């Protein structure tokens, strides 16, 4: 099961991986056809208005912002452990903001994806956001409950986590049983080391935290820019609080109507399409290590990944590249076409030299692993905990085998790695949360959904579906490669996003950039 929403900042040497702030050629400014009527200004001070009974103090809390270097301000908010029990205790939500440089109209919350991505880290690069956004808004990144610098989900120590992320389990009855045992042990460790927070990290609870933050920030309505999993977070907020929804932009959309098994199938198809585009591009160059036609090149990648299970690829260190790590190393480069050259370099090393240092490095970037075996974040822990708190895939082994066969047929290159997703929440210590929100978000103002036509992690059809599901959704299409569009595509997209957030100008539904 791959993380669909990864938008983390990797090491500088591969700064184009996953995220990039380089703008590509413009496709023209979008027409301005409609102006949203909602007010994005500051509130009159009644921050606790609309707070659920018993939770008024959380909404009315005073945030103490302190200088945390390079022009940033940081604060810590308190949130209830459980939004179903006002007496359950509290947790911490970490915040970091870029103060508005001009006439401030309000706050703009941002989420980079995941689940498990750090909004605190994400705002650390102000160049991600256009000048008009930085001028008009306090841009506020937050680590959702269970993530990063907020009260975190904790499971294994670094050594245990490293083993968990690199160990292969053959797709045999015995191997699948071993994989279930490993996931079961992981969940038990999470419960022991995290406590009751583990049962309260679902997306709905995080969306309720966002409304509480809106009140604490002093805004009447929530303005939000969410990427990938952040689109699920934003859509959930709009469904829970349509009357308090301000201007929302959801980029790299998740389809909130899909079951987990459908997500796995369609995501596998998305990565297959992205890989095909990569191989086509690679083979147009004389230094591509993939020979023959595109189909042959895809088969060579598949064979390399498959062979790494019985024969892990050696490196110059004591570590080797297992099948799981080989998959991560390939997959991470599909998030941005600017990263394709790094995959070519890694494949050259594997096919021509028989070593996997570069491929291992790419896998470590994906997993947020440092060279010394420590990890930069708890993204893996939070990813699994939040997914298991939100939904469960099919857990019947017979049906999982049938689903896995369908996935491999649809995505023969790497599809096997997307199968058996029902195992990933084996005997999870807490049940999934019950859905309490309106998926159509009836009554919310216009919500801009952005989709990229060959996005591997959140396929374009998901953006189409989310825009259609939301009663006020409007779709902006970026014709290109990679995951998400704003900040890594062109001025057509950035103009559409920024004009809406700053001025309330709704882009034409169906705008193509």
Helix (H) or strand (E) holding 265: helix 260-283
How does pLDDT run across 322-345, given as a tens digit for each residue? 999 999 999 999 999 999 999 999
Strand partners, 76: 94
Number of H helices, E strands in the chain: 16, 14
Assess whether pLDDT exceeds 60 at residue 502.
Answer: yes
Distance CA 257, CA 55 (A): 30
Tell me what the mean pLDDT of segment 66-72 comes to: 96
pLDDT at 49: 75
Residue 244 in 3-state DSSP?
helix
Q: Between 159 and 26, where is the model more confident?
A: 159
Distance CA 297, CA 332 (A): 18
Tell me what the mean pLDDT of segment 257-264 comes to: 92
Angle between helices 158-166 and 323-331 (to 10 degrees): 90
How does pLDDT run across 463-492, given as a tens digit for each residue? 999 999 999 999 999 999 999 999 999 999
pTM assigned to the model: 0.92
C-alpha separations of 299 from 304, 330, 409 in Å: 9, 13, 13
CB contact set of 148 (below 8 Å; sequence gap of 6+): 94, 118, 120, 121, 377, 378, 379, 382
Q: Between 39 and 288, where is the model more confident?
A: 288
Tell me what the mean pLDDT of segment 302-319 comes to: 98
Q: Between 28 and 320, where is the model more confident?
A: 320
At residue 48 the predicted structure's pLDDT band, cuts being 50, 70 and 90, is confident
At residue 46 the predicted structure's pLDDT band, cuts being 50, 70 and 90, is low
pLDDT at 341: 97
104 alpha carbon, distance to own chain's centre: 28
- 126, with CB counted inside 10 A (0-12, 13-18, 19+), is middle
Closest by alpha carbon to 123, among 152, 92, 102, 94?
Answer: 94
Assess whether pLDDT exceeds 50 at residue 12.
Answer: no
Catalytic residue among 483, 489, 494, 499: 483
Instruction: Name the DSSP letter for residue 370.
Output: -
Radius of gyration of the chain (CA): 22
Distance CA 259, CA 239 (A): 18
Q: In degrees rounded to 5, what are phi and psi of residue 41?
A: -75, 175
Task: Decide if 422 contacts 393 (C-beta within 8 A).
Answer: yes
Q: What is the mean pLDDT of the chain?
A: 91
Catalytic residue among 136, 166, 228, 421: 228
- 245, with CB counted inside 10 A (0-12, 13-18, 19+), is buried
Assess whether pLDDT exceeds 60 at residue 11.
Answer: no
pLDDT at 15: 40
Q: Between 422 and 31, where is the model more confident?
A: 422
Residue 182 in 3-state DSSP?
helix
Strand partners, 139: 98, 108
Assess whether pLDDT exceeds 80 at residue 47.
Answer: no
Residue 455 known to be catalytic: yes
How does pLDDT run across 405-417, given as a tens digit for each residue? 999 999 999 999 9
Distance CA 355, CA 388 (A): 36
pLDDT at 23: 26
pLDDT at 50: 80
């Amino acid at each position: 099961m791959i993380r669909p929403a990864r938008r983390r900042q990797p090491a500088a040497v591969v700064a184009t991986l996953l995220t990039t702030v380089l703008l590509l050629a413009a496709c023209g400014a979008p027409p301005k056809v409609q102006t949203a009527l909602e007010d994005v200004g500051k509130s009159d001070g009644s921050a606790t208005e609309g707070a659920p009974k018993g939770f008024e103090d959380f909404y009315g809390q005073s945030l103490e912002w302190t200088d945390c270097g390079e022009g940033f301000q940081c604060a810590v908010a308190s949130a209830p452990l459980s939004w179903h029990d006002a007496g359950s205790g509290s947790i911490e939500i970490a915040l970091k903001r870029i103060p508005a440089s001009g006439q401030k109209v309000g706050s703009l919350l941002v989420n980079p994806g995941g689940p498990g991505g750090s909004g605190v880290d994400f705002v650390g690069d102000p160049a991600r956001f256009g000048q008009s956004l930085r001028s008009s808004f306090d841009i506020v990144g937050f680590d959702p409950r269970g993530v990063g610098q907020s009260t975190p989900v904790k499971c294994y120590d670094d050594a245990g986590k490293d083993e968990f992320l690199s160990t292969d389990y053959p797709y045999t009855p015995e191997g699948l049983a071993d994989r279930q045992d490993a996931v079961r042990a992981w969940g038990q460790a999470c419960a022991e080391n995290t406590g009751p927070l583990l049962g309260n990290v679902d997306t709905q609870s995080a969306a309720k935290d966002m409304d509480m933050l809106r009140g604490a920030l002093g805004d009447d309505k929530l303005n939000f820019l969410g990427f990938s999993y952040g689109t699920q977070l934003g859509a959930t907020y709009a469904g829970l609080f349509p009357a308090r929804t301000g201007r929302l932009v959801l980029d790299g959309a998740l389809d909130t109507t899909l079951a987990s098994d459908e997500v796995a199938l369609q995501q596998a198809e998305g990565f297959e399409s992205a890989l095909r585009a990569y191989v086509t591009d690679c083979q147009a160059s004389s230094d591509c290590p993939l020979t023959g036609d595109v189909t042959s090149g895809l088969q060579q990648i598949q064979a390399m990944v498959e062979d790494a299970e019985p024969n892990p690829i050696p490196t110059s260190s004591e570590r080797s590249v297992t099948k799981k790590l080989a998959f991560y190393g390939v997959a991470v480069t599909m998030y941005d076409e600017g990263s394709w050259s790094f995959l070519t370099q890694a494949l050259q090393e594997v096919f021509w030299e028989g070593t996997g240092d570069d491929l291992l490095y790419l896998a470590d970037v994906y997993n947020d692993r440092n060279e010394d075996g420590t990890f930069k974040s708890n993204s893996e822990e939070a990813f699994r905990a939040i997914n298991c708190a939100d939904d469960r895939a099919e857990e019947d082994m017979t049906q999982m085998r049938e689903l896995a066969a369908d996935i491999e047929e649809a995505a023969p290159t790497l599809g096997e790695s997307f199968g058996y997703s029902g195992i990933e929440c084996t005997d999870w210590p807490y049940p999934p949360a019950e859905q309490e929100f309106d998926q159509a978000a009836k009554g919310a103002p216009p919500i801009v959904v952005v989709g990229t036509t060959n996005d591997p992690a959140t396929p374009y059809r998901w953006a189409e579906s989310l825009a259609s599901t939301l009663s006020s959704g409007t779709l902006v299409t970026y014709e290109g490669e990679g995951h998400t569009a704003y900040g890594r595509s062109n001025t057509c997209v950035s103009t559409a996003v920024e004009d809406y957030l700053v001025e309330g100008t709704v882009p034409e539904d169906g705008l193509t950039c």
